Amino acid sequence: MRAFQDRWFCDWLTVTVPNGTTGKGRRSEGPAGQSELEEATGRLMTWATLSGLRMQRVGRGGDGYAGGASFAMQPTDSETLAVVRVGHATNMPGLELRGGGGSCADLAPRALAELGPLLIARADVSMDLSQQGMFEQLEELARQTARANAMNPPRMDGTPETGRTLYLGKGETTLRIYEKGFEMAAKGKIAPEDIDPHLVRIEYTFRPRNGAKAGFARTARDEGVGALLGAVHWVRRMVEQIAVISGDAEDDTAKMAVTRVARTPDPRPAEVRAEHGIQQYAGTFASATIARIVEYEHDGDWLSAVIDPDRITADTLEFLRPYIHAQAERQADRCGVLAVRDAEAEAKRAEEMLVAWMKQQKLETDAATTALAAAEAASRARAGIMAVAA
């Protein structure tokens, strides 16, 4: 399955450069923040130029950015491949890499590897398959996925004569399946007679929440964009079945590893986070308790079952007890409450953790800046252009 995952490519990537203080996408205040802003903008512009892109035009950046520099392979090209976005009231500069006839598949891994720490706002992970009946099989798989995960049924646009597109999911993760040959013909990239009627593109779009944006970027950089498919349960299960449909795996071998994406710490107090979690899942816990009582005490007869709410409360708390107990010692050790601690030693430990994190951020940023400077110097040397004296 790992080889199958590695065949997926990035068809759209939107990233933001994090600030060097908190690692978030929000601009820092004061002169230090302005310096970071200018450095990040220069790094993005240099990277785009050294990647062989040439600026087409400047204009609005979109998504709240006052300005955007659009790049293509040639200044006269009509299709934009990349946009460097700056001038947001609160956010750091960002980069948007678009599909562009497959250019993103090449540029996205390079951006993730060469630009230092990044935050992913959007990543489209795609695969093209050509096989008779593929669209119909994927449509049925999408319907099965929706039913198994209590999702709304997939939505369909288009016709078999003009090309069909299927949509599934919402929020952080969505899926689009469409007949790629018809789309290419509609955009004038191929002649109608050259359409492959069996060519299908499968495209998962990930829009991670703030806490996961840095983790998604590191995962995509270190493990490849295909690894992102293992980060969402319903996507992972569906991709396993796609591998079976395409003939790349058998039912008993189509098992993907779960991708663990590190999350940026939530700044909300623990009590507030706990209350939010309880509100979100209390109904699920109570429903599980009710189902258990009906099954074991009423032989599954929902019509005759009468259960007191206090009983549901007591059984639900008892149901949760072993899970909380399993976490109690781990969390107590993490929070440092298993033994009396010296205040100075604890303060030093916290300081060392913060310094180590900041040092790693700086190392990655410096490495990216140095590599870009070296590439720029080499590019100048090949072109016979002398560096401007400082």
Q: What is the pLDDT of residues 261-318, one digit of tens each?
A: 988 765 567 787 788 788 878 999 999 999 999 999 999 999 999 999 999 999 999 9
In the predicted structure, residue 69 carries a pLDDT above the cut 90 = yes
- Greater confidence (24 vs 349) lies with 24
What does the domain layout of the chain look like in residue ranges?
2-245, 270-335, 340-390
How far apart are alpha carbons 278 and 267 in whole angstroms? Answer: 18
In the predicted structure, residue 123 carries a pLDDT above the cut 60 = yes
In the predicted structure, residue 104 carries a pLDDT above the cut 90 = yes
Residue 239 sits at φ, ψ, to 5 deg, of: -65, -35
Give the pLDDT band (50/70/90) at residue 199. very high
Give the pLDDT band (50/70/90) at residue 53. very high
Q: 249 and 2 in contact (C-beta within 8 Å)?
A: no
Q: 219 and 261 in contact (C-beta within 8 Å)?
A: yes
Tell me which residue has tokens 């065949």. 7
128: number of Cβ within 10 Å = 17
Q: What percent of the chain has pLDDT over 70?
A: 97
pLDDT, averaged across the chain:
89
For the question of whether the overall pTM of this predicted structure is more than 0.75, the answer is: no
Task: Provide the terminal-to-terminal Cα distance of the chain, rounded to the nearest Å.
Answer: 52
